[in-house]
Amino acid sequence: MTGIVALYIFMLAAFTGYEVIARVPVILHTPLMSGSNFVHGIVLVGAMVALGSATTPLEKTIGFIGVLLAAGNAVGGYAVTERMLEMFKSSGARGGKDGKGGGAKAGH
């Protein structure tokens, strides 16, 4: 990938990120932050490549820590985001008084 192409990608991705969430309501701020936190868990693929090309013990150690942390970012980010968004329901979807299932148990 040449430098200028990379810059094009950078610019377009920056606009995309801005536009995608420009009109997000306050109620979704926390889940969306968590969701974008998950998305940068893509650092996992970079950490895998770094560890996959490591040769010295020092490189291997740092690479191992990198993959460990990156996997934590991706999986943890997914787990909490999914848990939060799973709970968002509208009145139409609540079906009688069954609104207390699932996540409510965690509170007791």
Partner 1 sequence: MSDLHFSADALIQASYLVTAFLFIMGLKRMSSPVTARSGILWAGAGMLVATLATFFYPGMTNFPLIIIAVVIGSAVAWISGRRVAMTNIPQMIALYNGMGGGAAAAIAAVELYRGEQQTTAGATLAVVGGIIGAVSFSGSLIAFGKLQGLIRKSLRFGGQQLLNLLILAAALVLGAMVASGYNATAGMVTGLFAAALVLGLSMTLPIGGADMPVVISLYNALTGLAVAFEGFVLGNAAMIIAGTVVGSAGTLLTQLMAKAMNRSLGNVLFSGFGDTGAAAAGTEVTGSLKPIEAADAGVMMAFAQKVIIVPGYGMAVAQAQHKVWELTQLLIDRGVTVRFAIHPVAGRMPGHMNVLLAEAGVPYDLIADLDEINAEFETADVALVIGANDVVNPVARNDKSSPIYGMPILNADKAKNVIVIKRGQGAGFSGIENALFYLDNTRMLYGDGQAAVASLIAAVKSV
Under rule CB under 8 A, which residues in 45-64 are in contact with partner 1? Answer: 45-56, 58-60, 62-64
Residue 4 lies near partner 1 (rule: CB under 8 A): no
Angle at 72 between CA 23 and CA 30, to 5 degrees: 25
Return the residues of window 79-98 that contact partner 1 according to CB under 8 A.
79-94, 97
**Site membership for partner 1, residue 16 (CB under 8 A):** yes
Shortest spacing between CB 56 and partner 1, in angstroms? 8
Question: 51 is written with which tokens?
Answer: 């560890």
Does 106 participate in binding partner 1 (rule CB under 8 A)?
Answer: yes
Q: Tell me the C-alpha distance between 48 and 43, whole Å.
A: 9
Cα Dmax for the chain:
62
